[in-house]
Structure 1
Amino acid sequence: MVARADFEHSDGTEGANVRFTGRLTLARLGDVPARLEELGPIASVDLSAIERIDTVGAWIVTRTINEHGAKIIGASPEAERLLHALKDDKSEYRVHRDRRSGLERMLGEVGTASIAVWRELIGIIDFFGAMILALGTQIRARRRLRWHAIVTRFQSVGVDALPIIGLMTFLIGIVVAQQGAVQLRQFGLEVFTINLVGRASIRELGLLMTAIMVAGRSGSAFAAQIGTMKLTEEIDAMRTIGVSPMEAIVLPRVAAATILMPLLGFYASLCAIAGGGVFCWIGLDIPPVTYVQMLRDIIPMTDFWAMLIKAPVFGILIGVTGCYEGMQVRQNAEEVGKRTTSAVVAAIFLVIVLDAFFAVFFSSIGWN
């Protein structure tokens, strides 16, 4: 059986004489450090009886020597080598309990998080400004936009997203219609479920859910792709040969997201309306023809214009956030995952905040 670390001690005129036994290693230390602190002054440390010593054990001995001015007896060559490496280490490695109150700790964490969010927001704004400058430079130099790169992103951002966006918004339309009908049935007004589904789908739900899905799919893909290119030094190579990464990588992705968001938002709204129509037909016995006719009377054009105004803004926000987070990758592959997560979280948060501002703005100008 492997001997655990232990020690014997005897009192001397200048302090205790400590003689270690067993294996003075991390796995076998046990409560030895705590018992050493209870001894008081230590005059000498005898290492002749130890079977093995590692860095942690040598650090315990070094700390004891530095604290009490003790002398070493019977150290093996291995122990002497480790002690020599640590002889100038006089730092105190102690875990101090956080004595702040729960409220103070909470406020501290909130403050730290707020500062991090503010710095992230400033970084995104700065990155957006750099992108606008790059676009202006490209226009002034009369260089053609990289339409091939933009069209390539149409496939990943738009076409590949159609099935999942359609299915998700179709089911959401059913859920909204079902929940609305349950509440309106109490007043005998189930027919107004059509109003709820139609206006909510066109004005808010279709576009908002699309933006969240695009942020999760495309925003994360932008961050991961650019982050990987940073690690493999492809972006540095592009700068070396005179190609602007902002023009070659960022602008096509942001342009694709901006162009496709209105189309995806309109498609999602139609799918949500179709889901609500299926529920109204099956659950409320409202024929599809009646459902469509009522939608034409209920949905104002202002809802459609509001959606078309918000959609490109959301697309720019998702594209810029994803590309910005990818450009922030510096060290290793683990940071790619962290930045990808940050891209999704930041994009969804900013989309929801902007949607709230748009709702207040449109209401203030009478687009209710």
Structure 2
Amino acid sequence: MNGMAAFSHENAPEGDILRFTGSLTLARIGDLPERLRGYDGPASVVDLSGIERIDTIGAWLVHRFAAAHDARIEGLDADSEHLLKQIEAADQPVAMRPTQAVGVVRVVGEIGDAVVASFKTLYGLLGFLGATVIAIGSVIKHRRFRFNATVQRFEVVGVTALGIIGLMSFLIGIVIGQQGAVQLQQFGAEVYTINLIGRITLRELGVLMTAIMVAGRSGSAFAAQIGTMKLTEEIDAMRTIGVSPMEALVLPRMIAAVVMMPLLGFYASLLSIIGGGLFCWISLGIPPITFIQRIREVVPITDLYIGLLKAPVFGAIIAMAGCFQGMLVEADAEQVGMRTTSAVVQAIFLVIVLDAVFAVFFTSVGWT
């Protein structure tokens, strides 16, 4: 039966020796750790030739004692020596997380991290755009356009969105009319409410609000769908069998968003004008025929052209942001939610930024 772990001190010509006896195992170590902590004498050599067994706990205890007293360890067989070397290799100082900076330093650091992350994301989007262009060239060259997948995306992006976009646009038209009339009535110019409804709807809000709705509805769906496929390794399986994910997943969604956005934008503008016209008829007493005639007089055709030109660009941005974030999903299911949120935020942000760029550009070329 193995004896309990113990140690004794001995003076020798080569230095003070601490001799261990018994079994240095968890079951037999007893109060040895407390006694070693209470030992305050010198120790030049730790002699383990008299022990019966040693396990990881015993090796760790001896190693820490020898390190604290700068003593060398002797008397181990080959297996025990290997165990002790593994303990020494594993006993490394732990790098503590630095204390978070507070105040201005922390705020500046977070702003810097956000700026760096934004530029990395922009760089990734540009690279993804390049990959999409290459995929389009490959599809044209090899004539392998996925018609069924694209038509299905048309339904998801466009047809099923008609109800919510129509309701939203109709109500926005009423709100624009009501708010404009309240302000213009102060100057006896409520008739110009028609101008406000027609121009702001066709030129800006119709397409912009549609883009925001599509980003929240379809852009998030693109990111979630592709992210889930990435998580379940379906995309890796597609690459294994020679199917390009860019051609099979990204291009149908991109084409659907680009084609459907002008149609949805025009539809939204039309519903907004109808909502504004209904408000003018009920609240301001302007008959529908007068409203339509006034719209034709004050709204230039360039406003419609501007809206229709911006719409496909917005659609491409929304689809690209959704697919790009979906492709970045890794590791766990939590990434799907995070990337979906990022896709919506990035799409809406880029749409608004591009809308501002378009506004400046069209004003500079005289389309006012």
TM-score of the alignment, normalized to the shorter chain, above 0.5? yes
CA deviation string 1:32-62 (max 9, x = no partner): xxxxxxxxxx9549xxxxxxxxxxxx9xxx9
| Residue 258 of structure 1: aligned partner | 258
8 A Cα contact 1:166 1:267, kept in partner: yes
Kindly provide the amino acid, as one letter, of the partner of residue 178 in structure 2: Q
Kindly provide the amino acid, as one letter, of the partner of residue 106 in structure 2: R
| Residue 196 of structure 2: aligned partner | 196
Does 1:162 find its partner at 2:157? no
Stretches of structure 2 that go unaligned for 5 or more consecutive residues are 1-35, 40-56, 70-85
Distance 1:93 1:284, change over 3 A: same
1:102-251 correspondence to structure 2 within 5 Å: 102-141=103-142, 143-251=143-251
Indicate the percent of aligned positions where both proteins have the same amino acid: 61
Kindly provide the amino acid, as one letter, of the partner of residue 350 in structure 1: L
8 A Cα contact 1:325 1:343, kept in partner: yes
8 A Cα contact 1:43 1:69, kept in partner: no
| Residue 308 of structure 2: aligned partner | 308
Structure 2 CA distance for aligned equivalents of residues 85 and 231 of structure 1:
38
1:1-368 correspondence to structure 2 within 5 Å: 44=38, 69=68, 89=91, 91=93, 97-100=99-102, 102-141=103-142, 143-368=143-368
Structure 1 CA distance for aligned equivalents of residues 315 and 270 of structure 2:
19
SS at match of 2:329: coil
Distance 1:354 1:99, change over 3 A: closer
Q: TM-score, normalised by structure 2?
A: 0.75
Kindly provide the amino acid, as one letter, of the partner of residue 250 in structure 1: V
SS at match of 2:195: helix
CA deviation string 1:286-325 (max 9, x = no partner): 1111111100111101111111110110111111111111
SS at match of 2:229: helix
SS at match of 2:187: coil
| Residue 23 of structure 2: aligned partner | none
Q: TM-score, normalised by structure 1?
A: 0.75
CA deviation string 1:41-98 (max 9, x = no partner): x9549xxxxxxxxxxxx9xxx9xx89x959xxxxxxxxxxxxx989954535767644
Distance 1:144 1:185, change over 3 A: same
SS at match of 2:248: helix
Kindly provide the amino acid, as one letter, of the partner of residue 259 in structure 1: V
SS at match of 1:186: helix
Structure 2 CA distance for aligned equivalents of residues 233 and 339 of structure 1:
17
8 A Cα contact 1:184 1:192, kept in partner: yes
Distance 1:232 1:290, change over 3 A: same
Kindly provide the amino acid, as one letter, of the partner of residue 112 in structure 2: G
Structure 1 CA distance for aligned equivalents of residues 255 and 172 of structure 2:
28
Structure 2 CA distance for aligned equivalents of residues 193 and 248 of structure 1:
48
